[in-house]
Amino acid sequence: MTAVNTTVEAKSAPTRSWRRWAQRHGWTVGIWMLLVFLVVWYSTLIPRFGGFQFSTIINGGTAWIFLAAAQAVVVIAGGLDLGVGGLLVLTSATAAQFMDGQPLAVAVVMAVVILIGSAILNGIVGWVVAVSKVPDIVVTLGSLYIYQGLALMMLPKVGGGSSDGFRWLFTGSATGIGTNPWPAVVMITVPIAVAAWWMGRTPSGLSLYAVGSDETAAFLSGVNAVRTKIVSYAVAGAFVAIAGFSTLAIAGVGNATTEGGTLTLNSVAAVVLGGVVLTGGAGSLVAVVPAALILFFFNPILSALGVNPNQAQVIQGVLLVFVMAIAGLIELRRRRRS
Amino acid sequence: MSESPSTAPPVDATDEPRPAKPSIARQLSARPQIVLIAVLVGLIVVTAIIEPNYLSLAGLRNSAFFAVPIGVLAAGQTILMLTGGIDLSIAMIATASAYVAANQSPNGAVIAIAVGLLVGLAAGTANGIGVGVLRVNPLIMTIAMSGILLGLFTGWATTIFAGSTRMHDFIITLGRGTFFDGNVPWSVVVWIGVSILVLLLLRRTGYGRNLYAVGDNAIAARLSGMRSWQVLVVAYGISGLLGAVAGLLMGGRIGAVDLQLAGFLLLPSVAAAVIGGTSIFGGVGTYTGTILGALILGVVQSMLTFLGAGQAVQQVLYGTIVVGLSWMYMRLAAAQ
């Protein structure tokens, strides 16, 4: 760097750093502000907004957040996992089969086993993606089928259940309905914060971004691309397991006939809304969490406005395209200007 | 670009100069379609071992019934993959078209089919505008379209379409009727017609060249004066239309429609194109390969049915086999 350059930089430093900051974090801040705005708006739409409503949103949003986080980890590392919805059904069906009526300690041990199993299973999918060079869309559409089939084998009929203590962990009450949102808030914050720290501050986490933005460059600078891909899918598997536990905790019974495909679509939508670039290498869990909550939050808001769930789904789809088109336009203008 | 359709023959693996004494492995990898045919024959033999009655016209007809909708949908996927896109809404478009066709069935077969096809064309064109004009990522655009259609039709199924889920007899004949003593399904004839049109489109028209050009190098295509967005809008429109054709055939085969009509065909439609050698990144692929891919998946489906396993086991096996076949193809392509 020459002396001339340094002086120029020093002169325009305040504006430039502000612009850089806005460019880097603008989307995250915007999404959080949108979420806050929606919550405030919602509280004026319904007659009473208290602990019950708040915990309903947080509890119901937990599965969406973890599913979106799972998708985000994979997409940041340059992949795509259409199987997450199926894996959610599989993990919640498995949990329903083994946790029914168990004391909390046993349920937690079960949960850890299922979580590790889910991570290994999806890690295998990641291995296939990385080694076979088959497009990730094809491999994970295949894993979606496989997971749904396995879920049906695990739990042929709607049934099973969760343990009371475990339900409290995710919903703040043993019945799944309550006014205490804090257990769910903790269950969301701790894993997400750990993962966000891992991805942003540790070499193994940062290698996800490296592989996602340019696999060859990452390989040449000594990153094990295959291992990184496997790790990204495995971490996604672990997140999906948490989403599965939350789904079971709220429903109280397992249901292996749930359409995993729709859940997957939600996760992709949340990731995109959260500012993660689908081609990989950029994005943050910190923005994906509010994006997933916003998507989940659409339904209560629209139903408060008197819109039925089917119409809500239509509006959601149109909004998604709209947001993407505008984001694309902004990106295009920025590139033209520079 | 568009005035040189037939002067340049389609780039084929066989055109490449081969070494003087090619090994068998290398020869095979230079002609992946021979391998696909070998796989197809191998699968038919395995199926015949599981169920000896399979090796008859009636048995093969069973596979044809499975392969036809996959082949028609995969034609749409092939066209889009050539441009570097994909249509994850194609199964939902098929279902939607079948729904509308069933609703219009009391008005006669012509109107039912026309309106059904129109629905597919409209939904596909909307996808095309999203991808081509608004520059939304194809995955997002078609995922959103799938959600929009699902929302619309879930609502309409119990309101304006309530009670009208039966297909017109003519569409049912197309879907599950046969001729020549019940040995050749009419749906196969429809598929052959679609195949000829798609093959001609890709190999003999300027538009077909444009599809390859957009997918191979979008910037070069633009610099040579091509309007990519027009190519894309038409491509997605065609894909939607093919989705509608498959939807009508599926609806005709079942006889009635519901919201789960074609959903399970999404993976096979993508997989048939990939197994057949179409690159998901654009510019590379033929419909001939896709046809072989669809036939292979049809035989796999028959095999799973004869195994007598439950739906869950079938799903697991099917997913595994699809990924396995794609993997095998990728290894062959890499060897080349």
CA distance A209 to B237: 36
Q: What is the pLDDT of residues A118-177, one digit of tens each?
A: 999 999 999 999 998 888 988 998 999 999 999 999 998 888 888 777 888 887 777 767
Give A 282-321 residues with CB within 8 A of chain B: 308, 310-314, 316-318, 320-321
**Closest Cβ opposite residue B147 in set A133, A148, A313:** A313
The confidence score (pLDDT) of residue B20 equals 53
How distant is the Cα of B3 from the closest Cα of chain A, in angstroms?
Answer: 32
Model confidence at A66, pLDDT cuts 50, 70, 90, reads: very high
Q: Positive or negative CA dihedral for A300, A301, A302, A304? A: positive
CA distance B5 to B209: 7
Contact A268/B140, CB-based, under 8 Å? yes
Residue B52: how many other CB atoms lie within 10 Å? 10
The two three-digit tokens of residue B8, written as one number = 């340049």
Amino acid at A243: A
Contact B316/A150, CB-based, under 8 Å? yes
> Measured between beta carbons, which residues in chain B are less than 8 angstroms from residue A262?
147, 150
Contact B315/A148, CB-based, under 8 Å? yes
Amino acid at B73: L
CA distance A230 to A117: 14
Give B 133-162 residues with CB within 8 A of chain A: 134-137, 139-141, 143-148, 150-152, 154-155
User: How buried is B333 (Cβ within 10 angstroms: 0-12 exposed, 13-18 middle, 19+ buried)?
Assistant: middle
The confidence score (pLDDT) of residue B231 equals 92
pLDDT in tens for each of the 336 residues of chain B?
Answer: 444 444 444 444 444 455 555 676 666 666 778 888 988 999 999 888 888 888 887 778 888 888 999 999 999 999 999 999 999 999 999 999 999 999 888 888 899 999 999 999 999 999 999 999 888 889 889 988 998 999 899 888 888 877 777 888 888 888 888 887 777 888 899 999 999 999 999 999 989 999 999 888 888 888 888 888 999 999 999 999 999 999 999 998 888 888 888 888 888 899 899 888 888 888 888 899 999 999 999 999 888 888 887 888 888 998 998 899 888 888 877 766
Instruction: Give Rg (Cα) of chain B.
Output: 20
Give me the DSSP letters along B245-282. Answer: HHHHHHHHHHSB--TTSSGGGHHHHHHHHHHTT--TTS
Q: What angle do CA A125, A127, A132 make, to 5 degrees?
A: 100
- The SS3 assignment for B166 reads strand
**Closest Cβ opposite residue A324 in set B136, B145, B150:** B136
pTM attached to this predicted model: 0.85
The two three-digit tokens of residue A281, written as one number = 């290498």
Contact B155/A328, CB-based, under 8 Å? no
> What's CA A10's distance to the chain center, in Å?
40
- Report residue B273: phi and psi, to 5°: -65, -40
Amino acid at B197: L
CA distance B290 to B286: 7
Model confidence at A53, pLDDT cuts 50, 70, 90, reads: confident
Q: What is the pLDDT of residues B46-73, one digit of tens each?
A: 888 888 888 887 778 888 888 999 999 9
Across residues A38-52, what is the average pLDDT? 82
Q: Choose among B224, B158, B200: nearest CA to B287.
A: B200
CA distance B120 to B126: 10
Residue reference for tokens 């608004």: B134
Across chain A, mean pLDDT equals: 86
Q: What is the pLDDT of residues A177-200, one digit of tens each?
A: 777 788 888 889 999 999 999 998
Sorted by where each begins, the domain ranges of chain B are 69-291
Model confidence at A338, pLDDT cuts 50, 70, 90, reads: low
Give A 249-278 residues with CB within 8 A of chain B: 259, 261-262, 265, 268-269, 272, 278
Q: Which helix (H) or strand (E) holds A274?
A: none
The confidence score (pLDDT) of residue B11 equals 47
Judge whether residue A10 has pLDDT over 70: no
Do B252 and B101 touch, CB atoms closer than 8 A? no
The confidence score (pLDDT) of residue B168 equals 82
Give the nearest chain B residue to A279 (CA atoms).
B137
A141 at interface of B, judged by CB pairs closer than 8 A: yes
Contact A153/B313, CB-based, under 8 Å? yes
Judge whether residue A50 has pLDDT over 90: no
- Percent pLDDT > 70 in chain A is 95
The confidence score (pLDDT) of residue B9 equals 45
Q: Which helix (H) or strand (E) holds B185?
A: strand B184-185
Helical segments of chain A, H only: 3-11, 13-45, 51-76, 84-99, 104-132, 136-154, 164-171, 182-201, 203-213, 215-220, 225-251, 260-273, 285-304, 309-337
| Count, residues in chain B | 336
User: How buried is A18 (Cβ within 10 angstroms: 0-12 exposed, 13-18 middle, 19+ buried)?
Assistant: exposed
Q: Which of B70, B134, B137, B140 best tests the A interface by mutation, with the highest count of A CBs <10 A?
A: B140
- The SS3 assignment for A17 reads helix
The confidence score (pLDDT) of residue A100 equals 84
The confidence score (pLDDT) of residue B245 equals 95
Helical segments of chain B, H only: 24-30, 32-50, 57-82, 90-104, 109-128, 138-157, 169-176, 186-204, 206-216, 218-223, 228-254, 266-275, 287-307, 311-335
Do B94 and B260 touch, CB atoms closer than 8 A? no
Q: What is the pLDDT of residues A270-287, one digit of tens each?
A: 998 888 888 888 888 999
> Measured between beta carbons, which residues in chain B are less than 8 angstroms from residue A93?
none
The answer for A100, left when phi > 0, alpha when psi is -120 to 50, beta otherwise, is beta
